[in-house]
Amino acid sequence: MESKSDLNAQFANAFYRKLENQSSPSWLAKLKMLEGKKGKITFGGIPHKAYWFDLKRNHFSIIVDVLNEVCPHLGPFNKKTIIFQENEESDAFKPLQSENPSETFKLKAASGNSLSMEQKQKGAHHKVKSDGSSSFFKGMLTSGEESPFEVKSDEPDFEFKLESFIAGERNLLAARACRAVTEMPGSAFNPFVIYGVSGSGKTHLLQGIGRELKTRHPELNVVYLTAEQFLNDFIHSIRGQKMNDFREKYRNADLFLLDDLDLIASGKQVQQELLNTLNHLRQKKKQIVITSRDAPSRISQLTDGLCNRLESGLVIDVGVPDMNSRIEILVNKAQEKGIPLSNDLAEFMAKHITGSVSRLEGALTRLGVHTTLLNEPLSIELAGMNLRDLLGKHAESMEQQRPLTGSRDLLKERILMRVCSHFQVTEKDICSKRRDQGVLKARQATIYLFREITMMSLSEMGRFFWQNPLYDPQFPEKGLPADEV
């Protein structure tokens, strides 16, 4: 009888053998078989939801063939029984609990590392639900659909590592201070407050500290949550007359990590409880790390007592990444997501897309969607056309300098061609007023892609589809099922 690790190794070998015989994108090699039972196989390693469309359209049959070859007893295999998780790495998973444990197995990679599943969550002690389904379109689960599993964990799950934080001239001090905290927790800087604008890397550093200390000292009781979660827990404890349990949970922490302090600035009672918790932890020499969008002294509704306690430690501005750091962040993110980003394009985006790193990542994701769906190489000209809303005046300048080449019309033609091929309809069907299910789904998909890729306005789409600029099209969030992507 073959072992579970043998089964997983057979799938990996057969899958990669088939990939060698055809031209395949680099991100496809990251696909991992995570968990399986009769009628349900779960895969991870997909860098981003945008790749699901290409995976299901062009490579799904290969996966089905390999599964039928190595584990036919777990079939049948189709788009309802095969599930894809977004960007899940092997060391982040814990096993799912099945109603029939004999049908569920935890796969192991050839190297022996565990590949069991866990749904990621931000705050400790809180339930997180996942539908486990894959959808390129956001928020398109049909109403009333229940999540197939639920995870509750007493241990926080940290997505970010300190070593992956790109430290430049402006945030080098913050990065080194975080390192010092991991070397001497409870004594270096306590409490340690990191503040900065949204998308500057505060949560990255906070999670990096937690991950580093938990790795070095697995026995530590680490509490990681947002200020909103702390507030909600406080309110529920008062209503349920369980304040003793509340205090025991947070005051027994060896490492207390609180994200987004600003969210409780308007509550006097919860601030007092937080102050008491911090005083207790500091007296026991337990490390405290807190993030906020502004320095404590600049948060207008923060009480004097809490402000003074926070300022008794180290308060540091994480700063906004400089140009070189922004370029490096883009290049690293592109590699993670399998997006072919040139150095020139990375420099162009870092220079002309101002604001937080989150805006840069959003721009990169948009370009990734474009190159995946339309199989068109990325270029500065293409970025200028697709990122007009982020580039501002520079986009207008590029538009004036660029000759009228009809690029936008070409994009629309390619989108229509792909959608018509996928849904087996005609362009005439999509632009008609027919509302039967197949045509409606194809029309919704076209509208979504027009909006995301060509940045067409509602009035432009009204003219395109129904020759009526005042018509408000029904967007796909209102009912396109995930299985139709």
Q: What is the CATH number of the domain that holds 419?
A: 1.10.1750
pLDDT of res. 377 = 79
| 303 and 358 assigned to the same domain | no
For residues 327 and 6, the model is more confident at: 327
How far is it, in rounded angstroms, from Cα 180 to Cα 168? 17
Count of domains observed in the chain:
4
Q: Tell me the average pLDDT of the chain.
A: 73
Whether the predicted pLDDT of 405 surpasses 60: no
Q: What is the domain-level CATH number for residue 104?
A: 3.30.300.180
97 within a domain of the structure (yes/no): yes
What pLDDT score was predicted for residue 244? 93
Amino acid at 304: D
Alpha-carbon distance 55 to 15, whole Å?
Answer: 14
208 is a domain residue: yes
Residues 381 and 335 in one domain: yes
For residues 260 and 228, is the Cβ–Cβ distance under 8 A? yes
Does residue 308 sit in the same domain as residue 370?
no
Residue 129 maps to a domain: no
- Look at residue 369 and tell me whether its pLDDT is greater than 50: yes
Determine the pLDDT at residue 107: 35
82: closest CA among 93, 94, 66?
66
User: Which helix (H) or strand (E) element contains residue 193?
Assistant: strand 192-195
Q: How confident is the model at residue 412 (pLDDT cuts 50, 70, 90)?
A: confident
Question: Containing H/E element for 352?
Answer: helix 343-352
Say if residue 134's pLDDT is above 60.
no
Q: For residues 17 and 90, state if they share a domain.
A: yes
Cα–Cα distances (Å) from 4 to 10, 35, 69, 241, 375, in that order, read 10, 11, 15, 48, 37
Closest CA to 461 of 478, 447, 480: 447
**pLDDT digits 0-9 by tens, 282-335:** 999 999 999 999 899 999 889 999 999 999 999 999 887 888 888 888 888 888
DSSP letters for 220-266:
--EEEEEHHHHHHHHHHHHHTT-HHHHHHHHHT-SEEEEE-GGGGTT
Instruction: Provide mean pLDDT across the span 452-459.
Output: 73
Same domain, 207 and 276: yes
3-state class of 129 per DSSP? strand
Cβ(365)–Cβ(452) below 8 Å: no
Nearest partner of 484 among 414, 423, 426, judged by Cα: 423
Least confidently predicted of 129-143, 164-178, 218-232: 129-143
Q: What letter represents residue 391's amino acid? A: L
CATH number of the domain residue 276 falls in: 3.40.50.300
Mean pLDDT on 238-248: 92
Using the 3D structure, point to which of 351, 372, 402 is the last residue of a domain: 402
Domain limit, last residue, from 275, 292, 317 = 317
- Which helix (H) or strand (E) covers residue 86, if one does? strand 82-86
| C-alpha span between 454 and 385 (Å, rounded) | 8
Per-residue pLDDT, 4: 53
Q: Are residues 198 and 304 in the same domain?
A: yes
Query: Is there a single domain that holds both residue 289 and residue 203?
Result: yes
Whether residue 234 is contained in a domain is answered as yes
Asked if residue 264 and residue 190 are part of one domain, the reply reads yes
Assess whether 307 and 184 both reside in one domain. Answer: yes
| Domain-located, residue 156 | no
List all residues 6 or more positions away from 186 whose beta carbon is below 8 Å from its beta carbon.
Answer: 285, 286, 287
pLDDT the model gives residue 335: 83
**Does residue 191 lie within any of the structural domains?**
yes
| pLDDT class of 341 with cuts at 50, 70, 90 | confident
Query: Of 276, 294, 317, which residue sits at a domain end?
Result: 317
pLDDT at 272: 94
Q: pLDDT class for 23, splitting at 50, 70, 90?
A: low
Percent of the chain scored above 90 by pLDDT? 19
pLDDT of 119 over the 90 cut: no
Structural domain contains residue 149: no
Task: List the domain range (segments joined by +) for residue 361.
Answer: 331-402
Convert the pLDDT of each residue in 81-106 to its tens digit: 888 776 544 333 333 333 333 333 33
**pLDDT-wise least confident of 134-138, 237-241, 254-258:** 134-138
Q: Among residues 213, 147, 225, which one has the least CA distance to residue 186?
A: 213
Query: Are 290 and 234 contained in the same domain?
Result: yes
329: Cβ–Cβ under 8 A, 6 or more apart, which residues? 166, 321, 357, 360, 361
pLDDT top residue among 420 and 399: 420
Residues 397 and 411 in one domain: no
Task: Label residue 444 by pLDDT band (50, 70, 90).
Answer: confident
38 by Cβ neighbours in 10 Å (0-12 / 13-18 / 19+) ranks as middle
Are 236 and 212 members of one domain?
yes
Q: Tell me whether residue 132 is in a domain.
A: no
Token reading at 374: 């339309």
Q: Tell me the CATH number at 380.
A: 1.10.8.60
